[in-house]
């Protein structure tokens, strides 16, 4: 019985190994044997580790003093994974601020109304403050202010434009 | 059950704006015609008088701009079918003067005569409002004195810039009273509209001031990190409800009008805003996202229990209250971007008697009149933005066009 199991296993292993064997692709000339060449048609990426994750989807940066604006989804005030690098960068910049106070400004798009939108801006500012605190920053030097929908950096009626306005800006207090 | 569903569906299908329902309820209104005896006819002033008569809910006004002789007893035969004729002379040279005579249409008998004057021409709309308010009182209809009140509103002018403006309810009169920087959330501080609260962003953190609009004297009430809004003022002006975040968390506080003492009313690790007094100021309604979306809740000033008031809609983000009456705006479309449909609903502090007040467009910033009989709101639609008024008993509505700049907040 044991012999039979060993024999069966060995047979399957041999078959699998045989199946994994590949002929080296000949990429030159007309003898290209890749049937689906589309995998090679697009160019590959080239990333810069110093800036990777900070591109903000082309939303730019309306913070100052080296800080990076943090962007939010519609109606949301949680820090998305795509914004974690921006938070880390802000922690580094804040660490070099020589004890100066930092203003954290919460902003919203124009679709909220009245008081609720200002509270939403404040929750965004608080999320950034708390995230920086979670990375060891002393938050006692941070001052939050919500500007609601009053401080748009983009006024076109497009999705990307509204996305630029749902943000938190950071700057040193002069 | 099937029939009930059909009936409900039909009601929903045929729901229309209150402004379209109104015109049939005319049984109790007085038929009145206006006769302009001024040396030159002023169409704008005539339209303001007409608006006043219409929104009162007490008159069925002839919309034709008739001309007449102020002192004549003769009533044009065409107007004999009316109950009343209001003759007036408007003079605007160095100031504004208005003389009115209310006549009985059947025999020309004078029922009321009065003259009004103010030293400016820009405030002429207020003379129209006062005259119609007086005629309404002479004919012993329920008071419409709310038409004499100022509306105060803030509007954005550019990024981090806004103005606070006084207006009459029709927005024909407008005057900027606070400019420079970002000044938000104006709120009348007293029943006579001598002072108002507003939030200034001139300092490091938002600061609440009370401004006397006649003397210009300004008093700092309090300041708060994050945000600061005076949401409501008690009927005698001694207490205010404020949304503030002294510890970075937006909650509702009750303060003395001087800012001397404060009491935290809500404690929630989310958003609690827009507190409004209800039930003789023993409780508040407010907007909270404690269920994961903006909705309307209530609690007593001193107790800790919170209960849900509204059980419909997934985004009810603004509320106003008068006594036990509550009005709220509800987002009824799901566009993340672009114009969403916001409709206004009237309900009570117990959540009973809920009914829609609008059926189309973006209707926001609902505000009751001081007597709770009229609702003011901002309406955005394809044709632009307007300020709207709905008489909650007669269901009569009016819309006045607004400029293009975005309204931030308003009060009246």
Does B406 touch chain A if contact means CB atoms closer than 8 Å?
yes
Flag whether B2 is in a domain: no
Q: Which residues pair with B242 in a beta bridge?
A: B230, B253
The number of residues making up chain A comes to: 174
Task: With CB atoms and an 8 Å threshold, state whether B226 touches A122.
Answer: yes
What tens digit of pLDDT does each residue of B210-246 get? 999 999 999 999 999 999 999 999 999 999 999 999 8
Say yes or no to pLDDT of B15 above 50: no
Chain A nearest-CA distance from B394, in A, is: 28
Does A123 touch chain B if contact means CB atoms closer than 8 Å?
yes
Q: Which CATH number fits domain A56-172: 3.40.50.460, 3.30.43.10, 3.30.1330.60, 3.40.50.150?
A: 3.30.1330.60
Give me the CATH number covering residue B75: 3.40.50.10070
Integer-rounded Cα Rg, in Å, for chain B is: 23
Are B382 and B403 part of one and the same domain? yes
- What DSSP string describes B235-253? TTSSEEEEEE-TTSS-EEE
Domain boundary (B142, B169, B198) is at: B142
What tens digit of pLDDT does each residue of A112-158 get? 668 999 999 999 999 999 999 999 999 999 999 999 999 999 888 78
User: How many Å apart are CA B217 and CA A11, to the nearest integer?
Assistant: 97
Does A171 touch chain B if contact means CB atoms closer than 8 Å?
no
Domain boundary (B88, B120, B142) is at: B142
- What per-residue confidence (pLDDT) applies to A60? 81
- What per-residue confidence (pLDDT) applies to A151? 94
Confidence category of residue B299, pLDDT binned at 50, 70, 90? very high
Task: Tell me the CA distances in angstroms from B380 to A74, B31, B385, B401, one per residue in order.
Answer: 21, 32, 4, 10
Contacts of A114 in chain B (CB under 8 A): 274, 317-318, 364-365, 409
Flag whether B336 is in a domain: yes
User: How many Å apart are CA B40 and CA B46, to the nearest integer?
Assistant: 12
Does A163 touch chain B if contact means CB atoms closer than 8 Å?
no
Are B121 and B220 part of one and the same domain? no
Task: With CB atoms and an 8 Å threshold, state whether B271 touches A159.
Answer: no
**In which residue are the tokens 């708390």 written?**
A130
Task: With CB atoms and an 8 Å threshold, state whether A152 touches B159.
Answer: yes
Where do the structural domains in chain A lie, given as residue ranges?
Answer: 56-172
What tens digit of pLDDT does each residue of A44-71 get? 666 554 444 444 556 789 999 999 999 9
User: How many Å apart are CA A88 and CA B172, to the nearest integer?
Assistant: 53
Flag whether B18 is in a domain: no
Task: Tell me the CA distances in angstroms from B155 to B116, B166, B197, B327, B363, one per residue in order.
Answer: 32, 11, 16, 23, 17
- What per-residue confidence (pLDDT) applies to A9? 60
Are B126 and B166 part of one and the same domain? no
Are B261 and B177 part of one and the same domain? yes
Are B265 and B131 part of one and the same domain? no
Task: With CB atoms and an 8 Å threshold, state whether A162 touches B287.
Answer: no
What tens digit of pLDDT does each residue of B357-374 get? 998 888 989 999 999 999
Structural domain boundaries enclosing B83: 29-142
Are B118 and B224 part of one and the same domain? no
Task: With CB atoms and an 8 Å threshold, state whether A113 touches B226.
Answer: no
Are B98 and B210 part of one and the same domain? no
Strands (E), B304-383: 306-308, 318-322, 325-331, 342-348, 355-356, 362-368, 374-381
Does B204 touch chain A if contact means CB atoms closer than 8 Å?
yes
- What per-residue confidence (pLDDT) applies to A53? 44
Are B92 and B156 part of one and the same domain? no
Task: With CB atoms and an 8 Å threshold, state whether A144 touches B271.
Answer: no
Chain B nearest-CA distance from A52, in A, is: 28
Give me the CATH number covering residue B161: 2.120.10.30
Residue of B nearest to A143 (CA): B225
Are B251 and B291 part of one and the same domain? yes
- What per-residue confidence (pLDDT) applies to B336? 52
Residue partners of B92: CB distance under 8 A and separation at least 6: B42, B121, B124
Helices (DSSP H) in B41-87: which residue ranges?
43-56
Q: Are the CB atoms for A151 and A112 separated by under 8 Å?
A: no
Considering only CB atoms, A146 lies closest to which of B226, B336, B365, namely B226
Does B162 touch chain A if contact means CB atoms closer than 8 Å?
yes
What tens digit of pLDDT does each residue of B344-355 get? 999 999 888 899
Say yes or no to pLDDT of A21 above 50: no
User: How many Å apart are CA A95 and CA B245, to the nearest integer?
Assistant: 26
Angle subtended by helix axes A114-134 and A84-95, to nearest 10: 70
User: How many Å apart are CA B33 and CA B62, to the nearest integer?
Assistant: 5
User: How many Å apart are CA B222 and CA B205, to the nearest integer?
Assistant: 10
Contacts of B184 in chain A (CB under 8 A): 148, 150
User: How many Å apart are CA B189 and CA B234, to the nearest integer?
Assistant: 9
Chain B nearest-CA distance from A14, in A, is: 57
> In the 8-state DSSP scheme, what is residue A54?
-
What tens digit of pLDDT does each residue of B389-408 get? 999 988 888 999 887 568 89
Domain boundary (B90, B117, B142) is at: B142
Are B167 and B219 part of one and the same domain? yes
Helix/strand number for chain A, H first, E second:
5, 4
Structure tokens at B55: 């929104």
Question: Residue B33: which H helix or E strand, with range?
Answer: strand B30-36
Q: Give me chain B's average pLDDT, please.
A: 89
Are B201 and B312 part of one and the same domain? yes
Number of domains in chain B: 2
Of B226, B224, B228, B273, nearest to B252 by C-alpha is B273
Are B125 and B206 part of one and the same domain? no
Of B219, B164, B212, nearest to B190 by C-alpha is B212
């Amino acid at each position: 019985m044991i012999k039979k199991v060993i024999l069966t296993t060995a047979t399957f292993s041999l078959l699998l190994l045989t199946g994994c064997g590949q002929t080296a692709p000949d990429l030159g000339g007309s003898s290209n044997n890749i049937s689906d060449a589309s995998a090679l048609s697009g160019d590959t990426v080239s990333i810069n580790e110093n800036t990777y994750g900070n591109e903000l989807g082309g939303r730019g940066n309306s913070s100052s003093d080296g800080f990076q604006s943090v962007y939010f989804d519609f109606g949301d005030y949680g820090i998305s994974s795509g914004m974690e690098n921006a938070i880390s960068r802000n922690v580094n910049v804040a660490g070099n601020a020589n004890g100066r106070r930092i203003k954290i400004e919460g902003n919203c798009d124009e679709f909220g109304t009245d008081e609720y939108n200002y509270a939403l801006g404040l929750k965004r500012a608080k999320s950034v403050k708390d995230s920086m605190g979670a990375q060891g920053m002393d938050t006692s030097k941070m001052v939050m202010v919500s500007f609601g929908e009053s401080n748009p950096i983009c006024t076109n009626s497009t999705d990307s434009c509204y996305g630029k306005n749902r943000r938190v800006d950071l700057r040193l207090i002069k | 059950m099937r029939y009930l569903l059909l009936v409900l569906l039909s009601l929903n299908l045929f729901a229309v704006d209150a402004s379209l329902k109104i015109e049939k309820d005319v049984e109790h209104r007085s038929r009145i015609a206006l006769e302009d005896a001024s040396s030159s006819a002023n169409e704008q002033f005539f339209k303001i008088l007409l608006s006043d008569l219409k929104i009162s809910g007490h008159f069925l006004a002839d919309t034709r701009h008739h001309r007449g002789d102020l002192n004549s007893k003769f009533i044009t035969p065409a107007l004999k079918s009316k109950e009343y004729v209001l003759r007036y002379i408007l003079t605007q040279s160095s100031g504004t003067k208005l003389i009115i005579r209310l006549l009985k249409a059947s025999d020309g008998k004078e029922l009321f005569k009065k003259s009004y004057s103010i030293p400016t021409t820009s405030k002429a709309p207020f003379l129209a409002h006062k005259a119609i308010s007086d005629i309404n009182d002479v004919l012993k209809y329920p008071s419409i004195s709310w038409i004499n009140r100022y509306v105060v509103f803030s509007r954005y002018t550019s990024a981090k810039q806004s103005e606070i403006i006084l207006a009459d309810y029709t927005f024909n009169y407008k005057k900027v009273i606070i400019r420079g920087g970002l000044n938000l959330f104006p709120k009348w501080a007293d029943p006579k509209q001598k002072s108002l609260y507003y939030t200034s962003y001139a300092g490091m953190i938002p600061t609440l001031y009370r401004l006397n609009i006649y003397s210009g004297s300004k008093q700092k009430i309090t300041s708060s990190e994050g945000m600061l809004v005076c949401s409501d003022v008690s009927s005698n002006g001694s207490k205010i409800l404020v949304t503030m975040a002294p510890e970075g968390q937006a909650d509702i506080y009750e303060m003395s009008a001087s800012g001397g003492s404060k009491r935290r009313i809500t404690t929630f690790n989310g958003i609690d805003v827009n507190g409004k007094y209800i039930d003789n100021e023993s409780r508040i309604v407010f907007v909270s996202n404690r269920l994961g979306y903006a909705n309307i809740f209530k609690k007593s000033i001193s107790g800790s229990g919170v209960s849900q008031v509204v059980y419909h809609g997934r985004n009810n983000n603004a509320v106003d209250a008068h006594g036990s009456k509550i009005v709220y705006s509800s987002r009824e479309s799901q566009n993340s971007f672009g114009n969403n449909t916001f409709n206004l609903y009237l309900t009570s502090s117990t959540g009973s008697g809920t009914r829609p007040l609008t059926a189309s467009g973006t209707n926001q910033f609902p505000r009751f009149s001081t007597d709770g009989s009229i609702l003011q709101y901002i309406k955005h639609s394809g044709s632009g933005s307007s300020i709207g008024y709905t008489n909650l008993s007669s269901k009569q509505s009016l819309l006045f066009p607004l400029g293009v700049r975005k309204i931030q907040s308003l009060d009246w």
